Amino acid sequence: MSRFPEASVLARLVDAPVLPGRLAWIGLRPDRRAPMREVAEARLEPGRGLEGDRWRGAATGARQVTLVSAEHLRAIAGFLRLDAVAPARLRRNLVVEGLNLLALKGQRLRIGAALLECSGECHPCSRMEEEFGPGGYNAVRGHGGITARVVEGGAIRLGDPVARA
């Protein structure tokens, strides 16, 4: 599923194996600006995102679910000179561990029974300044994770493997 000529070195590198990770955190946003609700399991629905989340986009929308790497949360904390950044503060739905999500941009990944298509980068919004104070927006730049659409729905649980499909 490469964006490069099939025989190119870059295509082979992009399509090279990506070690699987695991699902480390699940968060639902019940309403705009409401506190995130941390859950141990959830259900992904095609065209709807996470059941119980406030997302209200088009059924074909690219941002049905947001994902970020635990490793990027640690980088953001470092830029902000904090010991840690709780996943709920970034307001992403899923935190994965041990997997470089940007290596899957434009590709598909499986989490539990669900199949997602990585649709783009999840850039920070001005709310990061509110959440983290001055410098919050820039601390998240390049570390905000990815957006995805749900191709096949299914149950997901903490600890589920996360792998390129």
Q: What is the CA radius of gyration of the chain?
A: 16
Region at 120 (left for phi over 0; alpha for psi -120 to 50; beta for the rest): left
**Residue 29 exposed, middle or buried by CB count within 10 Å (0-12, 13-18, 19+):** buried
Quickly state the pLDDT bin for 24 (edges 50, 70, 90). very high
> How far apart, in whole angstroms, are the C-alpha atoms of residue 120 and residue 19?
20
* Site of tokens 């000529």: 5
Domain boundaries, the chain: 21-164
Do residues 71 and 142 touch, judged by C-beta distance below 8 A?
Answer: no
- pLDDT, one tens digit per residue, over 144-157 is 999 999 999 999 99
Q: What is the pLDDT of residue 3?
A: 65
Report whether pLDDT(4) > 80. no
Q: Which residue has the tokens 């899957």?
A: 104
- CATH topology for 21-164 is M1 Pyruvate Kinase; Domain 3 (2.40.33)
pLDDT tens digits, one per residue of 88-106: 999 999 999 999 999 998 8
% pLDDT > 70, the chain: 98
For residue 91, is it left (φ>0), alpha (ψ between -120 and 50) or beta? left
Task: Report the predicted TM-score, pTM, of the whole model to 2 decimal places.
Answer: 0.90
Residues present in the chain in total: 165
The conformational region for residue 81 under phi > 0 = left, psi -120 to 50 = alpha, else beta, is left
